[in-house]
Amino acid sequence: MARIGSDIQKSKKILAASGLVSIPTETVYGLAANAFDIAAVLKIFATKNRPTFDPLIVHAASLDKIESFTKNIPNKAFALAENFWPGPLTLLLERTSLIPDMVTSGLPKVAVRIPKHPLTLNLLSQLDFPLAAPSANPFGYISPTTAKHVNDQLGNKISYILDGGDCAIGIESTIIGFEGEDAIVYRLGGLSINAIEELIGTVQVVPHSTSQPQSPGQLKSHYAPKKKIVIGNIADMITQYKNEEIGILSFQKQYPKIAQANQIQLSSLEDINEAAKNLFTALRKLDALSVTIILAEFVPNIGLGLAINDRLKRASSK
């Protein structure tokens, strides 16, 4: 198993020697390597069992640093960066030759963000290279929101996990790209569409494609637990699936016919941000129970509800 701690010096040493460190962010834990170092970046793909056509997000501590390896940044990108960084927002920007092809799968744009987590910002500010970091889970599985989640799945493949506690937002960053000055949302995430549109006006949200995804976070079966998960009216489905061992993932309701231990409420107070924070832990818990099916429902389509429902849809479409 990996060592878990809050040692920034140790993290620096491992990263400078082309190694991997799992880092906390406000969204989910990342699996980080020196983004300028091809040998290190290759280890990310191998460790996650991730196909090399799925590009990585590059993390840095400041906009200045990001400007040192990107170019032709659109005005709207600057506005978004100034308002929402550090935070759960990833921007697709033209890259310079400092970013290896391996990081972007050969694409001309690189995904970049400044994460909002004190430990990781401290680490990034002490490095003279940015960190490429996808979510620290095996490819296609649910993203980790605690150091333990990372250790459970990748602990035998990496040496160190920087422990920053539970992720405050709990859902991956919102990804935005640009066609000229038009902003396009490629992945719904921890920054709500409302917040984005308040700043830069209406944005296009690209529907999920199943073939040739622009952003492989758009692959339909992403974020999938191993168990079958169906979404609908939970009360009706309890009748429909009466011959199965049922697990329940609800927004706030409890169902008397089903054992308490097999039910998880995302937010008893119907708080959408709390629901986002609890989502991936809840899916992991249900996946580990001895149930045969998980019955889930959509949460209200407000704020982070859109991103939660997007993850639920993908988790259910295996």
Q: Does 25 bind ligand TXA (CB under 6 A)?
A: yes
SS3 229: strand
Q: Does 297 bind ligand TXA (CB under 6 A)?
A: no
Q: Which stretch binds Mg ion (CB under 5 A): 60-68, 132-140, 285-293, 295-303?
A: 132-140
Kindly state the smallest distance separating residue 236's Cβ from Mg ion, in Å.
32
Q: Does 185 bind ligand TXA (CB under 6 A)?
A: no
Provide the residue count of the chain. Answer: 318
Cβ pair 225, 294 in contact under 8 A: yes
- The backbone region for 90, taken as left when phi is positive above 0, alpha when psi lies in -120 to 50, beta otherwise, is beta
Q: Does 135 bind Mg ion (CB under 5 A)?
A: yes
- The count of other CB atoms within 10 Å of the CB of residue 184 is 15
Kindly state the smallest distance separating residue 301's Cβ from ligand TXA, in Å.
21
Q: Does 263 bind Mg ion (CB under 5 A)?
A: no
Kindly state the smallest distance separating residue 143's Cβ from Mg ion, in Å.
5
Tokens matching residue 228: 């079958």
Question: Which CB, 92 or 246, lies closer to ligand TXA?
Answer: 92
Q: Does 30 bind ligand TXA (CB under 6 A)?
A: yes
Q: Does 134 bind ligand TXA (CB under 6 A)?
A: yes
Kindly state the smallest distance separating residue 111's Cβ from ligand TXA, in Å.
3
Chain Cα centroid distance, residue 266: 18
Binding string, 64-103, against ligand TXA, x = CB under 6 A? --------------------------x-x-----------
Instruction: Enumerate residues 6+ apart whose C-beta is below 8 A from 202.
Output: none
Q: Which stretch binds ligand TXA (CB under 6 A): 127-135, 155-163, 192-200, 235-243?
A: 127-135
Tokens matching residue 241: 């699936």
Tokens matching residue 236: 């009706």
CA distance linking residue 69 with residue 16, whole number of Å: 19
Indicate if the alpha-carbon torsion angle 50, 163, 19, 189 is positive or negative: positive
Q: Does 216 bind ligand TXA (CB under 6 A)?
A: yes
> Which residue matches tokens 């493949």?
157
Q: Does 161 bind ligand TXA (CB under 6 A)?
A: no
Residue numbers at the binding site for Mg ion (CB under 5 A): 135
